[in-house]
């Protein structure tokens, strides 16, 4: 092993706006002081209750992906487990997400874009 994953970094035009979007989706603390990095106008973080850290880096010329267009591919995506797809959909749309592919309920997942255009999936958690 060469190292540990510290965070996942998303380029975006407005770092605090995107950090707050993901805070609404995942919970946690925006811009908690952390020895691993400095906060500022061009960088924000979200420390989630699960222990993951998302970071947001300003990219003035950010061009959002256009799913599923291969000319501007998704670059990465997050899968977020939820108990109720319908309730989660209402919540993420209320936070500012855009529905990309709500598909067939039988498949158990739906695709959205965050306010900066990054695709993410809501995935129905398997019941125990």
Q: Is the pLDDT of residue 44 over 80?
A: yes
pLDDT of residue 76: 77
Q: Give yes or no for a contact between 58 and 12, defined as CB atoms under 8 angstroms apart.
A: yes
Residue 58 scores a pLDDT above 60: yes
Residue 1 in domain: no
Per-residue pLDDT for 128 more than 50? no
Q: How many Å apart are CA 4 and CA 65, to the nearest integer? A: 27
Residue 100: which CATH number?
Answer: 3.10.180.10
Alpha-carbon span 114 to 120, nearest angstrom = 7
In a domain, 73, yes or no: no
The number of distinct structural domains making up the chain is 2
Which pLDDT band holds residue 56 (cuts at 50, 70, 90)?
very high
Residue 14 belongs to domain spanning: 8-58
Average pLDDT in the 69-94 region?
88
- Predicted TM-score (pTM) of the model is 0.80
Give domain status of residue 69, yes or no: no
């Amino acid at each position: 092993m060469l190292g540990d994953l510290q965070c996942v970094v998303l380029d975006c035009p407005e770092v605090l706006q995107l950090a707050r979007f993901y805070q609404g989706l995942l919970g946690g603390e925006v811009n908690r002081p952390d020895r691993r990095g400095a906060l500022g106008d061009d960088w924000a973080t979200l420390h989630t209750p699960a222990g993951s850290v998302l970071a947001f880096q300003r990219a003035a010329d950010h061009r959002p992906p256009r799913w599923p267009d291969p000319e501007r591919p998704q670059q990465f995506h997050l899968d977020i487990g939820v108990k109720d797809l319908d309730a989660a959909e209402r919540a993420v749309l209320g936070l500012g997400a855009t529905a990309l592919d709500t598909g067939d309920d039988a498949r158990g997942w739906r695709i959205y874009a965050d306010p900066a255009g990054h695709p993410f999936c809501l995935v129905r958690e398997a019941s125990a």
